[in-house]
Chains A and B, each alone.
Chain A
Amino acid sequence: MHKEPLIFDISKGRLDDGEGIRTAVFLKGCPLRCTWCHNPESGSFAYDFMWDGSKCLLCGDCAAVCPRGLIGFDGEKLYLDKAYCDGCGKCTMSCPGGALRQIGRKYPEEELMELLLRDRVFYEASNGGVTFSGGEPLCFPEFVGKIAKRLKEQGISAAVETCGFFEYEDVQEMVLPYIDCVLYDIKIMDRQEHIKHTGVSNEKILHNFRRLSKENTDIRLIPRTPLVPGITDTEKNLRDIRRFLAENGKLSAHVLLPYHSGGIRKRELLRTGIDRDCPINI
């Protein structure tokens, strides 16, 4: 189990991550690999890089500034070896056009708390708060619980968005006492289909949901299904999901999420391998 997560985004003023206006903290790393994921950079637990060709000036400053010499630049092409990257972020800071971006960084606790508390007036005005998301935030129950506890002490609501693939005992002990809402993805009921489209089986996910709905009645549990065309939005899948939810008394809370294609552009920017036609290779 990882202790300290990399966080790849802290996004404020959001309306779809729980009640009211919320700040969402996105933790890097996920046990699933959903084919439709709109945050593809969230899959790996390690540092990633995104590079936007339309902004790159091929100036080579990133290569000059990397303290470990992990970036090579020959005037026309850039080569970045991220295996030994320690996430110092200097390349990102040096890039004038904002073309190269390190995805994921560590946040010292105080810095994170300061960021999360900034929008307090908006939380208060809307019954909002903070939502932990990602990736899979519950891969880091100690971290999430620590921050959620501090938020609770400040009177701020904390919610979690999860795919359900987590260790229940750890979460129960470290996270559940401090959160008031879980937004729980129920994607695919058929086991084979689930493995095919997400890479893992769904037993743990369904098992965790049952326990959560039975054992924690004071936490709002909101099952959500992203409607991915042809995959999750089939009649059979939705029917099966509804039956499952009804069995657990959560049918009325079910939320259907329209699919958005933000992941497509992100996949274009995310550099994960060698592409001979591209000026940058990571």
Chain B
Amino acid sequence: MGEVTLKDIRLEEYGLEELDGIRELRDGMLREPVHICTERAWYITEYMKEHGEEEMEEHPVLYRARAVARYLGNKKAVIPDGNLLAGTTGAYLKSAPVYPEFIGLTIWSELETISGRKKNPQLLTKEDAERLNFDIYPYWIDRDVLASTKKKHGNIMPIRLLEKMIFYVSSKAGCISHTVPDFKRVLAQGAEAIIREAEEKAEGSIREEKEFYQAVATVLKGLLKYAENLSEEARRLAGEEKDEKRREQLLEMAKVCRAVPANPASGFREAVNCIWLCLIGIHAENINMAISPGRLDQVLYPYYKKDMEEGTLTVKEAMELIACLWIKTGDNVDLVPQVSEELFGGAGTAPAVTVGGVDEEGKDAVNDLTYLMLRVTELLKMREPNMNARYYPGRNTIEYRNRVSEVIASTKAVPAFYNDIENIKTLVNQGTLEEHARDYAVIGCVELASAGRSYDASSSIIMNLTAAFEMALYNGKRYITGEEQFGPKTGEPEKMENFEQFLEAFKTQTAWLIDQAVDLNEKMAKIHQKMLPTPLLSALFEGPMEKGKDLVFGGAVYNSSGATHVGFADVADSLNAVKKAVFEEHYCTFGELIDAVRHNFENQDKLLAYVKNKPLKYGTAEETENGISREIIRFLYETYQGYTNYRGGKYRPAYWTMTNHSGQGKITYALPNGRKANLPFASGITPVSEAAADLTECFRSVGALNSLYIPGGEALNIKFTNIASREEAALLGSFIEGYFKSGGQQVQFNIMSHEMLRDAKAHPEKYPDLLVRVSGYSAYFNDLNDTMKDELITRTEYDIHGGRMVPDYV
């Protein structure tokens, strides 16, 4: 049960200037360029060269622990700025560590130019470039996940489809990540106790279990060594430090690193730094793609409360520590080749923090820390962490809801809102115990986890639904790949006699594509099991220690795989268009429609106008009633849930798109819904731009999609011209209440007009840190490529007063 004792939940007396040194830390982190860090890759590769091959065969989990522990034990203890918390993910203030097991080799050809490339440069020293080229990459050239999969299975269709890049993305090639760890145990007991428990359990078990426990002990010891090194470094720096205040801070840091994570956290500061050090450990083991800290307002609350009651902590100090943690979460980004800017543009690592909602008993869990964290987010306005607010209509207060709305209005972008009622419901439907479902946290972008208990691999598949649609249109081919046959031959649409036949063709292509993607996911999973067990992450989880099983082998309490979709709205509208134009009103023949599409509607103004205006459009009440969108959602759900993954869990469909909707849209030709060639798709589960002219209808239509069929999470992007006053923010809260009551699961906002975004595109220097919501995560507008900027500019914009979209008069 949460308790709120603050007199002012807005904490207005604490601005950025009142928090000591935070503005400098924030600006410093924002201005800091990204440095590619080869330290991790170096140590792990060296270990692999020395022992790796044989050990991997004999001790798959233990070898990994040893390699990671070698790195952690030797990792440079760096204290690069005035942050109160100790520890850095890489060797710099802001690092892009190299993970050659995954996609670290994709920048090989860019090594000597990446430091100066125009979009998103990442700094690499000459020395490190040579290390990578001569020492590290050659070892991994045949050994990374994708290469290993290919070597084992040959050039099978699922791999061919992946490498074409326009059918689906299989994120196992890129990561083991996307989860919410458990910090409660390490905070309460300390890592040394976990090590002891692991060692005892190792004694009492045999074979794989024994090895797992040994691995846990080994890798955690590596983490403790790192903490020790940090402590020494802090003490050393304190010895040289002339400024009294900074000296005190460094000595405190040294003390904290000696205490945690080895021992139970004795107070708020230790708890916060413990979590950060554990995250560093997790990043050491595997790439950070949405490793999400979770419900920090709940996890940290006992420590906050204790210190506040004892008088050893003030609100100001607590806010400073939270701000320091927030800033730290931005200290690592993913190493990206240029093409990432197309599909995952501007993304940081999307570490999601979730506040609010209800506790395991279903009671209002909002507490003082919730408001402190919201205030810090409001003040910092940074991309990391990816802030999310859970709301339970009827159990969380209206004040809380409206306060979150105010923060959205003032940051213009964050947090995103999550509906506890629907999200808990869909998790329970997936077999989660009710109390565990109530304890859900967001995996950045928008996916749902039972915090610290479920391993959801939520980005396992990023399915391009428009690929399946095109294959239905072109009898198993895609426009851009010409005559190459990919999917099954589902028939020539020109010869089809009714809509059901075409719908069946679409479903067949989709089911086939899903089958390929699932097959690849399962095959890559086996590679992960062989190469990349995760003993450190497993130690910070409920389930593995009890079962004696690493997460990749199904050690978590709950298991699933997530599959998200690109182009849902465009496909729904295109199916609706085919139905109306060809089969209901006989406005044209199917052949004529396909011909128009193949020629990008050239000289077909009338047909283009017709398909843009007359067929049913997802996001309107008529479409919800009579259109295809709900049927597609249900079809996808039933198809995915027919599969069981390698960990015994189900596949869960989701609807978020990062910037895939822009990148894939760019290479997709025209579609029957009137979308012209090479334009972005709608993002996430959002209706096509300007298709849903009515705000409340948009909300109700999305809400009507039935959350039971969307267990993987969704991203609804709503753009408002402006929300200026507290009254307007409260009304925003009312809209969200209505949307949630209509069944909606998630919503996120951009509070900015077409004009302002155009201005920001033309004059980036006027908007240095403009934060925008893309599709499930936040990005700095200036980091995005032009295509993505245009997609944001042309998104449906609503005027909150009029309830209707503001047409984009260019």
Contact indicator B804/A11 (Cβ below 8 Å) = yes
**Residue from the list B700, B742, B802 in contact with A14, Cβ < 8 A:** B802
**Residue from the list A13, A96, A128 in contact with B606, Cβ < 8 A:** A96
Contact indicator A96/B614 (Cβ below 8 Å) = yes
* A225 → chain B closest CB, angstroms: 18
Inter-chain contacts of B800 with A (CB < 8 A): 15
Q: How many A-B Cβ pairs are below 8 Å?
A: 81
Asked if A122 CB lies within 8 Å of chain B CBs, one says yes
Inter-chain contacts of A97 with B (CB < 8 A): 605-606, 609, 613
Which residue, of A59, A96, A119, has the highest number of chain B Cβ atoms within 10 A? A96
**Residue from the list A13, A55, A124 in contact with B694, Cβ < 8 A:** A13
Asked if A179 CB lies within 8 Å of chain B CBs, one says no
Inter-chain contacts of B737 with A (CB < 8 A): 121-122, 125-126
Interface size on A, residues (CB 8 A): 22
Asked if B313 CB lies within 8 Å of chain A CBs, one says no
Scan B699-712; emit 1 where CB is below 8 A from any A CB, else 0.
01000000000000
**In the complex, A97 Cα to B610 Cα: how many Å?**
6
* B661 → chain A closest CB, angstroms: 25
Contact indicator B609/A122 (Cβ below 8 Å) = no
**Residue from the list A15, A16, A118 in contact with B621, Cβ < 8 A:** A118
Contact indicator A57/B734 (Cβ below 8 Å) = no
Asked if A98 CB lies within 8 Å of chain B CBs, one says yes
Inter-chain contacts of B613 with A (CB < 8 A): 96-98
**Residue from the list A11, A12, A57, A119 in contact with B609, Cβ < 8 A:** A57
**In the complex, A12 Cα to B735 Cα: how many Å?**
12
Contact indicator B606/A119 (Cβ below 8 Å) = no
Inter-chain contacts of B700 with A (CB < 8 A): 118-119, 121
* A36 → chain B closest CB, angstroms: 18
Scan B238-261; emit 1 where CB is below 8 A from any A CB, else 0.
000000000000000000000000
Inter-chain contacts of B731 with A (CB < 8 A): 15, 20-21, 126
* B671 → chain A closest CB, angstroms: 17
Q: Quick one: closest B residue to A14, CB to CB?
A: B803
**In the complex, A68 Cα to B697 Cα: how many Å?**
35
Contact indicator A125/B606 (Cβ below 8 Å) = no
A126 with B734, Cβ < 8 A, contacts A55-B609, A96-B606, A118-B621 known: yes
Inter-chain contacts of A121 with B (CB < 8 A): 700, 737-738, 741-742
**In the complex, A178 Cα to B621 Cα: how many Å?**
28
A21 with B694, Cβ < 8 A, contacts A11-B804, A96-B610 known: no
Q: Quick one: closest B residue to A262, CB to CB?
A: B802
* A9 → chain B closest CB, angstroms: 10
**In the complex, A246 Cα to B799 Cα: how many Å?**
34
Inter-chain contacts of B621 with A (CB < 8 A): 118
Contact indicator A13/B609 (Cβ below 8 Å) = no
Contact indicator A21/B606 (Cβ below 8 Å) = no
A96 with B609, Cβ < 8 A, contacts A12-B697, A126-B734 known: yes
Inter-chain contacts of A128 with B (CB < 8 A): 734
Inter-chain contacts of A15 with B (CB < 8 A): 728, 731, 800-803
Asked if B296 CB lies within 8 Å of chain A CBs, one says no
Inter-chain contacts of B728 with A (CB < 8 A): 15
Inter-chain contacts of B606 with A (CB < 8 A): 57, 59, 96-97
Question: Which B253-296 residues have a C-beta within 8 angstroms of A?
Answer: none
Scan B714-747; emit 1 where CB is below 8 A from any A CB, else 0.
0000000000000010010011011001100000
* A258 → chain B closest CB, angstroms: 11
Contact indicator B735/A122 (Cβ below 8 Å) = yes
Scan A50-72; emit 1 where CB is below 8 A from any B CB, else 0.
00000101010000000000000
Scan A30-54; emit 1 where CB is below 8 A from any B CB, else 0.
0000000000000000000000000
Q: Quick one: closest B residue to A20, CB to CB?
A: B734
Contact indicator A122/B801 (Cβ below 8 Å) = no
Scan B741-781; emit 1 where CB is below 8 A from any A CB, else 0.
11000000000000000000000000000000000000000
Inter-chain contacts of A119 with B (CB < 8 A): 696, 700, 738
Q: Quick one: closest A residue to B614, CB to CB?
A: A96
Q: Quick one: closest A residue to B741, CB to CB?
A: A121
Asked if B462 CB lies within 8 Å of chain A CBs, one says no
Contact indicator B801/A16 (Cβ below 8 Å) = yes
Scan B568-611; emit 1 where CB is below 8 A from any A CB, else 0.
00000000000000000000000000000000000001110110
23 contacts between A and B (CB under 8 A): A13-B694, A13-B696, A14-B803, A15-B728, A15-B801, A15-B802, A15-B803, A21-B696, A21-B734, A21-B735, A57-B609, A96-B606, A96-B614, A98-B609, A98-B613, A118-B697, A119-B738, A121-B737, A122-B696, A122-B735, A125-B734, A125-B735, A126-B731
- A sample of 10 more A-B contacts (CB under 8 A), given A14-B801, A126-B738, is A11-B803, A12-B695, A13-B735, A14-B803, A21-B696, A57-B609, A96-B613, A121-B737, A125-B741, A126-B731
